């Protein structure tokens, strides 16, 4: 009888390299992928099953929305960008104790939002904003020093996430629900524009490398239009022009859907590392169209665009990204085992159940709990599979390290 899970560890457990602090803090993806996924698991479980433990000043649904966007999704983005930035520029933006300090700010922010009292809240806010500003500054410095003009706008988008975060927190303290929703949606769109910018580059690259003979158009011009319409949607939303923002957002979603179709999704059906990324990009495109319908007054509940973009889009795409990019940068074969595929299926199930739970039926609570279970299992499988790898040296560095040779990691295309 074949084993349920097939794991591919190099050598015997006795010969496996020991955990190393230097390896764990080598690049941004190692601590931040683990931290973001762990927090996504814990915070959703708290929100659904133990909301009474959320006792901070930023409570209830405001805390849940904030932690999902800035505590989970944006954290993974920072980890990805600090790692990809080393490839783009040839200079690692942050590593070692400096990276550990950045992660320390993140931990203080997460804990501070749970502790009651204004002092804890203010400490959390300062740490949270410092996390994003420091990450943007480190990436910006690498871009500036190497004159990498192509990626000059990426640190600015990270600063946009920090700015919308600050505005959201201010509106929450003031009790201004309308402003809070406007700033949350602006932050959601900042993250969407950043995600589209990254995904449009890396998904076709990954696909062409993995599928022999697959040709995908670059979509450079449509990408420029997409970036423009996405930024226009954010500006119009902050300026209090939801109808114009809806048109710009609809254009952004349509361009994303056209790109997705041109990437030949049927051609990647046999490659889990690809079809999960395609599923997430398609979910994001649909989510943007739902968001446009909401801004245009055709969808009344704000929960629909938030969950369509955030769960069916970001979360599915993230699980694929944190698997594919981690395998590459850890020196591992670019193939999945059963635990990885199981986590993909569970995340897709969690997204479908969460959207179904938004429907006004007697089954809503049951669907929410089922979605939470699938979510926790999906992220739990990822953490179980990748934590032992993240705290050890790269697989292709192990033989040299064992012989006493100094290993210089080679940057991989992200």
pLDDT values of the chain reduced to their tens digit, one per residue, 414 residues: 343 333 344 444 555 789 999 999 999 999 999 999 999 999 999 999 999 999 999 988 999 999 999 999 999 999 999 999 998 899 999 999 999 999 999 999 999 999 999 999 999 999 999 999 999 999 999 999 999 888 888 999 899 999 999 999 999 989 899 999 999 999 999 999 999 999 998 999 999 999 999 999 888 889 999 999 999 999 999 999 999 999 999 999 999 999 999 999 999 999 999 999 999 999 999 999 999 999 999 998 989 999 999 999 999 999 999 999 999 999 999 999 999 999 999 999 999 999 999 999 999 999 999 999 999 999 999 999 999 999 999 988 745 444 443 344 444 445
CA quadruple 293, 298, 301, 302: dihedral sign: positive
pLDDT at position 13 is 52
Please, what is the Cα angle at 271 between 266 and 277, to 5 degrees? 75
Quick one: tokens of 235? 């500006």
Closest by CA to 234, choosing from 296, 285, 290, 189, is: 189
Q: Which residues of 189-222 are buried (b: 16+ CB within 10 A; e: fewer)?
A: bbbbbbbbbbbbbbbbebbeebbeeeebeebeeb
164 to 69, 139, 188, 190, 331: CA distances (angstroms): 11, 19, 9, 8, 36
Distance CA(414)–CA(412), nearest Å, equals 6
- H/E stretch holding 82 reads helix 74-89
SS3 411: coil
**8 A C-beta contact, residue 189 and residue 227:** no
pTM, full prediction: 0.91
Judging by beta carbons within 10 Å of its beta carbon (0-12, 13-18, 19+), is residue 410 exposed, middle or buried? exposed
């Amino acid at each position: 009888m074949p084993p349920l899970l097939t794991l591919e560890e190099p050598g015997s457990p006795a010969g496996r390299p020991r955990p190393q602090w230097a390896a764990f803090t080598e690049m941004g993806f190692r601590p931040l992928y683990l931290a973001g996924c762990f927090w996504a698991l814990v915070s959703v479980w708290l929100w659904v099953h133990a909301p009474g433990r959320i006792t901070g000043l930023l409570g209830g649904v405001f805390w849940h929305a904030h932690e999902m966007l800035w505590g989970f999704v944006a954290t993974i983005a920072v980890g990805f960008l600090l790692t990809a930035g080393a490839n783009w520029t040839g200079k690692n933006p942050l590593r070692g104790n400096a990276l550990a300090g950045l992660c320390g700010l993140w931990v203080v922010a997460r804990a501070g939002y749970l502790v009651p009292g204004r002092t804890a809240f203010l400490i959390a806010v300062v740490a949270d904003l410092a996390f994003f500003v420091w990450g943007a500054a480190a990436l910006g410095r690498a871009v500036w020093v190497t004159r990498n003009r192509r990626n000059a706008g990426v640190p600015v988008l990270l600063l946009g996430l920090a700015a919308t975060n600050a505005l959201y927190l201010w509106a929450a303290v003031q009790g201004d629900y309308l402003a809070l929703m406007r700033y949350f949606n602006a932050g959601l769109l900042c993250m969407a524009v950043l995600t589209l910018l990254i995904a449009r580059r890396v998904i076709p690259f990954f696909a062409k490398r993995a599928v022999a003979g697959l040709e995908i158009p670059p979509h450079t011009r449509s990408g420029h239009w997409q970036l423009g319409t996405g930024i226009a949607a954010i500006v119009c939303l902050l300026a209090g022009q939801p109808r114009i923002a809806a048109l710009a957002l609809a254009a952004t979603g349509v361009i994303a859907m056209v790109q997705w179709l041109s990437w030949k999704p049927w051609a990647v059906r046999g490659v889990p590392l690809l079809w999960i990324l395609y599923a997430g990009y398609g979910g994001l495109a649909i989510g943007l169209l739902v968001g446009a319908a909401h801004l245009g007054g055709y969808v009344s509940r704000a929960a629909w665009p938030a969950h369509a973009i955030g769960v069916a889009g970001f979360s599915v795409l993230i699980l694929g990204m944190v698997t594919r990019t981690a395998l590459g940068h850890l020196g591992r074969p670019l193939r999945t085992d059963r635990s990885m595929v199981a986590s993909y299926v569970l995340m897709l199930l969690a997204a479908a159940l969460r959207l179904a739970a938004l429907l006004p039926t007697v089954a809503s609570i049951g669907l929410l709990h089922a979605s939470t279970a699938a979510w926790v299992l999906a992220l739990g499988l990822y953490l179980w599979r990748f934590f032992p790898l993240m705290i050890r040296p790269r697989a292709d560095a192990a033989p040299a390290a064992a012989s006493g040779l100094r290993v210089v990691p080679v940057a991989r295309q992200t």
